[in-house]
A and B are shown apart, each in its own frame.
Chain A
């Protein structure tokens, strides 16, 4: 047993053997078991490329936000050199949390415990009474804040503490192409800080939902059609279900009855996207997806107050224990969108997502209910059913990269999510 393994290998193997994505079977205990959760922290969250921020959250030198990578706290800071660094928010002396604000601007961070001071590049530059107390024994240049590797795609900043991980481009695979549509179609920025609320659910439930579950929209969100935001309860049925590599999943609603994005920015979209990307953007009605493990996104369009309005959002499911998520939801907007369109998008976002959102509200009911049920000694052993679309795989060509299936209602992406999950969970053994 590796000294850092949280769970005895035999026990881990016995649990993981019950996860059979190829048969469309996922045991309920995955959504509350504390041993599974401890393994996920080590084998998934300490290894994968994780989203930490959008570039526009730290636009100027000295800007920082604090975030989490799994349960590890990090500081995302832009240095005087313009580079964004992601550093463990843990003092190298005695482990105190150094920065305790959500965001700000600072050239340095000082630990409250003994006053160890770090530049916003992570370099340790000050230790009170260093010469008197340590002589020359303290090797300061080995005591900088622990640095994660940082890479960016379409303004989305990702980080990993795994030195052995491949590049972000390798990690994203075909998903990068779809992220361009989401976040690279124009110069984008987040609008204000993210909505945050603590959802009493397992992090995988919303992650697999955004990757794969268009089927739920018909019933879970039937109220949305009834109040006229969408034309019918089956508004999210037609389109494509795309396995985008490495456990990533994206779904494209298509065709659309009308262009969902800003007409004024069409030339920008056309210039920034490749012709095949732009062709899909034109046909797209909406686009939910998940970058494995815990970054989801959505392009959504609804009719609000008689006007057709779209918005783009990022959602991150920060695990806080097996049955708790610190949910972050950001509104992402084209910087150059006309002011009245920005205002409409903001209202459509708030009305539909974030904790008060009329779609998010009912999603939360499902995620919390499944999490609660998965604790029962009988219920936890149930193999939950993920069979939809098994054996009916005839990919269509000419839409985009990855394995593109016709029709959004499918569970192939959820199976892909758990297949990747299983590979990583087993790879640590």
Chain B
């Protein structure tokens, strides 16, 4: 079911704002965009023969977070010993192909979009590229949109990254 144009515009604004917070390293502000009951997951992609799907594992995932563990991860990055992000990497979240559908309640929308995360670190010109699809649920809480659920489906079965010390 389609959603009104103003809702769609608000969702786009939300996604762009979120990308800005992530890319500017404002992770405490980013946590403020999440609902108290947020679930944040990144399933493992598998290479399977056609007809032997599912090619996605939710039994084991790269991320399977709630607000408490996301806070813990952000807290860690703020310590003096988070070597994987100190010096910090430079990331750019490109968000595109946004599709907004009505959610299960009047205050929720289901949003799918394509995401490309570019991550560069140190003096190397090489960069990590994480491509995938987000399957988000946004909820209107006190007049503002918040992220209630994210499933990031990566396009790689073997992630081309030394680590996932960033958020997708």
Interface residues in chain A, defined as those with a beta carbon under 8 Å from any beta carbon in chain B: 100-106, 191-201, 219-224, 226-227, 229, 304-305, 326, 331, 346-347, 350-351, 354-356, 358, 360-362, 364-366, 368
The 0/1 profile, CB within 8 Å of A marked 1, for residues 67-95 of chain B is 01100110110011111110000000000
Extra contacts besides A192-B58, A220-B83 (7): CB < 8 Å: A102-B46, A102-B47, A198-B159, A222-B79, A226-B76, A227-B76, A361-B84
Q: Is B52 on the interface with A (CB-CB < 8 A)?
A: yes
Judge whether B157 and A102 touch: CB under 8 Å: yes
Cβ contact of B72, chosen from A199, A351, A366, cutoff 8 A? A351
CB-defined contacts of B79 to chain A, threshold 8 Å? 222-223, 226-227
Judge whether A101 and B47 touch: CB under 8 Å: yes
Q: Is B3 on the interface with A (CB-CB < 8 A)?
A: no
CB-defined contacts of A360 to chain B, threshold 8 Å? 163
Q: Interface SS of chain B: helix, strand, loop or mixed?
A: mixed
CB-defined contacts of A193 to chain B, threshold 8 Å? 44, 46, 57, 59-60
Chain A, Cβ-Cβ closest to B126: A200
Q: How far is the CB of A213 from chain B (nearest CB, A)?
A: 15
Cβ contact of B48, chosen from A103, A219, A358, A368, cutoff 8 A? A103
CB-defined contacts of B60 to chain A, threshold 8 Å? 191-195, 331, 346
**Known contacts A192-B57, A355-B161; A223 and B62 CB within 8 A of each other:** no
Judge whether A103 and B46 touch: CB under 8 Å: yes
Judge whether B73 and A358 touch: CB under 8 Å: yes
9 closest residue pairs by CB, A with B: A192-B60, A192-B59, A361-B84, A356-B164, A222-B81, A223-B81, A197-B159, A196-B158, A361-B163
CB-defined contacts of A331 to chain B, threshold 8 Å? 60
CB-defined contacts of B61 to chain A, threshold 8 Å? 192, 350
**How many A-B contacts are there with CB distance less than 8 Å?**
128
Q: How far is the CB of B78 from chain A (nearest CB, A)?
A: 9
Bound together, the chains give a CA A346 to CA B69 distance in angstroms of: 13
Judge whether B68 and A305 touch: CB under 8 Å: yes
The 0/1 profile, CB within 8 Å of A marked 1, for residues 9-51 of chain B is 0000000000000000000000000000000001010111100
Cβ contact of A362, chosen from B42, B80, B82, cutoff 8 A? B82
* CB neighbors of A among B95-139 (8 A): none
CB-defined contacts of A355 to chain B, threshold 8 Å? 62, 159, 161-164
**Known contacts A305-B68, A365-B83; A197 and B160 CB within 8 A of each other:** yes
Q: How far is the CB of A333 from chain B (nearest CB, A)?
A: 11
CB-defined contacts of B162 to chain A, threshold 8 Å? 197, 199-201, 355, 364-365, 368
Interface residues in chain B, defined as those with a beta carbon under 8 Å from any beta carbon in chain A: 42, 44, 46-49, 52, 57-65, 68-69, 72-73, 75-76, 79-85, 157-165
Bound together, the chains give a CA A104 to CA B48 distance in angstroms of: 7
Judge whether B163 and A350 touch: CB under 8 Å: no
Cβ contact of B62, chosen from A198, A221, A350, A358, cutoff 8 A? A350
Judge whether B81 and A226 touch: CB under 8 Å: yes
Judge whether A356 and B63 touch: CB under 8 Å: yes
**Known contacts A192-B59, A198-B159; A102 and B48 CB within 8 A of each other:** yes
Judge whether B83 and A196 touch: CB under 8 Å: no
Bound together, the chains give a CA A223 to CA B73 distance in angstroms of: 10
Bound together, the chains give a CA A191 to CA B46 distance in angstroms of: 14
CB-defined contacts of A100 to chain B, threshold 8 Å? 47
Chain B, Cβ-Cβ closest to A368: B162
Bound together, the chains give a CA A347 to CA B85 distance in angstroms of: 22
Q: How far is the CB of B80 from chain A (nearest CB, A)?
A: 8
Q: How far is the CB of B47 from chain A (nearest CB, A)?
A: 5
Bound together, the chains give a CA A195 to CA B42 distance in angstroms of: 11
Bound together, the chains give a CA A288 to CA B75 distance in angstroms of: 26
Judge whether A326 and B158 touch: CB under 8 Å: yes
Cβ contact of B158, chosen from A101, A106, A192, A197, cutoff 8 A? A197
CB-defined contacts of B157 to chain A, threshold 8 Å? 102, 196
Q: How far is the CB of A74 from chain B (nearest CB, A)?
A: 16
CB-defined contacts of A224 to chain B, threshold 8 Å? 76
Bound together, the chains give a CA A201 to CA B80 distance in angstroms of: 24
Chain A, Cβ-Cβ closest to B159: A197
Bound together, the chains give a CA A355 to CA B119 distance in angstroms of: 15
Q: List 19 A-B contacts (CB under 8 A).
A: A101-B49, A103-B46, A105-B52, A192-B44, A192-B57, A195-B62, A196-B157, A197-B163, A198-B158, A199-B162, A223-B76, A227-B72, A305-B69, A350-B62, A351-B69, A358-B72, A360-B163, A361-B82, A361-B84
CB-defined contacts of B58 to chain A, threshold 8 Å? 192
* Chain A CB within 10 A, most for which of B69, B159, B163, B165: B163
**Known contacts A101-B49, A102-B47, A192-B44; A362 and B81 CB within 8 A of each other:** yes
Judge whether B76 and A198 touch: CB under 8 Å: no
Chain B, Cβ-Cβ closest to A197: B159
Bound together, the chains give a CA A358 to CA B77 distance in angstroms of: 9
CB-defined contacts of B63 to chain A, threshold 8 Å? 350, 356
Bound together, the chains give a CA A350 to CA B83 distance in angstroms of: 19
**Known contacts A104-B48, A104-B49, A355-B161; A346 and B64 CB within 8 A of each other:** yes
Bound together, the chains give a CA A350 to CA B58 distance in angstroms of: 13
Chain A, Cβ-Cβ closest to B64: A350
Q: How far is the CB of A14 from chain B (nearest CB, A)?
A: 31
CB-defined contacts of A364 to chain B, threshold 8 Å? 84, 162-163
* Chain B CB within 10 A, most for which of A347, A351, A368: A351
CB-defined contacts of B62 to chain A, threshold 8 Å? 195, 350, 354-356
Bound together, the chains give a CA A361 to CA B85 distance in angstroms of: 9
